Chains A and B, each alone.
Chain A
Amino acid sequence: MGENTPKRTPVPPGVADDAARIDIIALTKRFLTPKGAPFTAIRDVSLTVEAGQFCAIVGPTGCGKSTTLAQVSGLEKPSSGSVQVGGRIVDGITNGVSYMFQADSLFPWKTVLQNVMIGPVLLGTPKKAAMALAIDWLRRVNLSGFEDRYPHQLSGGMRKRVAMAAALINNPRILLMDEPFGALDVQTKAIMQTELLDLWEELRPSVLFITHDLDEAVALSDRVVIMTSSPGTVKDVFDIDLPRPRGDVQTLRHEKRFIELQTQIWESLRDEVTRAYERTTGVAA
């Protein structure tokens, strides 16, 4: 796989290299509101994701989770503080990053195959090789036979699988996922979580995974970060000591340790969610 990702030095699958470590240091991001007043979306966010670690971020809506991810990807510039990837400060697009956006971001005019191919094609991989790679990845996410469909001809779950294949095909060092399974039904979600865990074990990218689903956060991650309501900052960090490989996500849910951790995290999150909720309803009243 290494020869298909020319911008990166190949890493044996399953072994994380130190260049995949993410350090977020006192990160602050302000936006200008339409009226011209500054609005602080996140304030002094500091957190570390070890190389190859799976880190989930949970927090009330509007607390700045997506904003944090955008700074890590290099799509936006922080107002102050910094993001370091592998010890180097992010300036411009971070190398070796894949990003699954919160909104659907498949190209409606490209077929499923072309959508998955785009990663290697942009890196300059010859078309034939990119195509072979994409076909292989579609097989891995169980979408063989759908190569020639357009995104609007797929179900929501299938679209997410295409996006996942497109995100992983470049063997990213860092994988940013913004509520990837948010809109899926419970069964499909469980299947895709298991699929994602398998693929992650194989490639071992560092993952920043945003979710509102605490079960999901606990089941998948090594570390769960709780953010406060707006302006967001890190409230708590929980290390999840469930053994790996975790196997089927559905069965994991009923283990004692899982329930303990889930309860602790909910305790921590509840105040923030209540506060965020009160604020929004207070504004509306």
Chain B
Amino acid sequence: MSAVVQQSSGVTSAGARVGRAVKPQSESELQASARQARTRNRVWVWVGRIAVAVIFIGGWQLLTQTKLLDPFFYGQPTQIWDALVTLFTKGTAFGSIWDQLWVTVQEALFGFLFGSLAGVIIGILLGSNRYLSNVFNPYIKIANSIPRIVLGSIFIVAFGLGIFPKILLAAVLVFFAVFFNAYQGVREVDQNLIANVRVLGASPLQIARHVTIPSAMTWIIASLHTAFGFAIIGALVAEVLGAQKGIGLIISQSQGRFDPNTVFACMVIMAIVTLGAEYLITLLERSVLKWRPPVRSESQAI
């Protein structure tokens, strides 16, 4: 995402530079100046980002140190750091932090995989078949209106404290995010393009392969970004509700011990995981949607 933003601002400032130049420049000079402008821009973006972090964390530290905010409830950045160090050096009451993290990541990943797969398949199916869509429409709406936490409790009661109910809850959260997008994506397919392949003699399967799926892909991939966040939430919430391992378990234990710093430390860990996944999804998006004109992906990235 960041790369796109930088690119766009790089182009404008390069243009401004060319406008200012008095004597005509050679091609290589133009290229060099454009590259310079781009690097300068990237530097500024990072300066801005670091400034935001410094102000936020520094302000937090300051407010809690001066007791304007009570560190007992709100934690404190330095103590969160200490908690992080403790988690990674001393481990947790349930084993090493890496074990816990691995369990949670596994749950989120499987949930993400199954949920998005089901979402894409069912979304495309219902999106391209009016009859099925009419039949299932009310049931999907009902299922979507069930509070997910309640669902989590039911899963844990039904399937125990193992990894399976966590995957299930994560998958359910992911499913609805992806399903509605895939469904809408199929609905938005340009009817002209469908007519185009139909005239050329395409079968329904060929229509799906050459038109419907690639066209809906824009929507589906957009939903994957939020979907991974949902997968993590699903896994964590289910763990908080009842588990033998996982980051969510550490969170609920720390909560019981009135230890906000460890809770925050766990949030930091999960944020890093989510950022990593987000990066991978962006890579996937770039390779699958490389046909898109840059302007559009830019506006979507912002």
Q: Which residues of A contact B (CB under 8 A)?
A: 7, 73-75, 93, 95, 97-99, 101, 103-105, 107-111, 118-119, 122-123, 150, 152, 170
Q: B201, A93: Cβ atoms under 8 Å?
A: yes
Q: B200, A119: Cβ atoms under 8 Å?
A: yes
Q: A107, B201: Cβ atoms under 8 Å?
A: no
Which stretch from B60-68, B144-152, B207-215, B235-243 is at the chain A interface? B207-215
Measured in the bound complex, the distance between the Cα atoms of B25 and A34 in whole Å is 59
Q: A101, B195: Cβ atoms under 8 Å?
A: yes
Min CB distance A175 to B, Å, is 11
Q: B198, A107: Cβ atoms under 8 Å?
A: no
Contacts of A104 on B, CB cut-off 8 Å? 192
Contacts of B142 on A, CB cut-off 8 Å? none
Ranked 4 nearest A-B pairs via Cβ: A152-B293, A109-B291, A105-B196, A109-B214
Report if A107-B214 is in contact (Cβ < 8 Å); known contacts: A101-B192, A150-B291: yes
Task: Give which listed residue, B196, B199, B206, B215, contacts A109 with CB less than 8 A.
Answer: B215
Contacts of B52 on A, CB cut-off 8 Å? none
Task: Give which listed residue, A7, A73, A152, contacts B199 with CB less than 8 A.
Answer: A73
Whether B113 is near chain A, meaning CB under 8 Å from some CB there, is no
Report if A108-B198 is in contact (Cβ < 8 Å); known contacts: A101-B192, A103-B192, A118-B210: no
Whether B18 is near chain A, meaning CB under 8 Å from some CB there, is no
Write the B65-95 contact mask toward A (1 if CB under 8 angstroms, else 0): 0000000000000000000000000000000
Q: A75, B192: Cβ atoms under 8 Å?
A: no
Measured in the bound complex, the distance between the Cα atoms of B217 and A110 in whole Å is 13
- Main secondary structure on B side of the interface with A: helix
| A170, closest chain B residue (CB) | B200
Q: A105, B200: Cβ atoms under 8 Å?
A: no
The listed residue with most B CB atoms (<10 A of its CB), out of A75, A93, A104, A105, is: A105
Report if A122-B200 is in contact (Cβ < 8 Å); known contacts: A107-B214, A109-B215, A110-B291: yes
Contacts of A170 on B, CB cut-off 8 Å? 200
Contacts of B200 on A, CB cut-off 8 Å? 98, 118-119, 122-123, 170
Write the B179-222 contact mask toward A (1 if CB under 8 angstroms, else 0): 00000000000101101111111100010001100110100000
What would 15 A/B residue contacts be, using CB atoms closer than 8 Å? A73-B199, A75-B198, A93-B199, A98-B199, A99-B196, A103-B192, A105-B196, A108-B291, A109-B289, A110-B291, A122-B202, A122-B206, A122-B210, A150-B293, A152-B291
Measured in the bound complex, the distance between the Cα atoms of B191 and A101 in whole Å is 11
**Residues of B within 8 Å of A, CB-based: how many?**
21
Task: Give which listed residue, A105, A110, A123, A150, contacts B201 with CB less than 8 A.
Answer: A123
Measured in the bound complex, the distance between the Cα atoms of B198 and A70 in whole Å is 12
Q: B192, A122: Cβ atoms under 8 Å?
A: no
| B207, closest chain A residue (CB) | A122
Measured in the bound complex, the distance between the Cα atoms of B202 and A75 in whole Å is 12
Contacts of A101 on B, CB cut-off 8 Å? 192, 195-196
Q: A75, B201: Cβ atoms under 8 Å?
A: no
Measured in the bound complex, the distance between the Cα atoms of B196 and A98 in whole Å is 9
Report if A118-B197 is in contact (Cβ < 8 Å); known contacts: A105-B192, A109-B214: yes
Min CB distance A136 to B, Å, is 18
Other A-B pairs beyond A73-B199, A122-B202, A150-B291, 6, CB < 8 Å? A101-B195, A105-B190, A108-B292, A109-B289, A110-B291, A122-B206
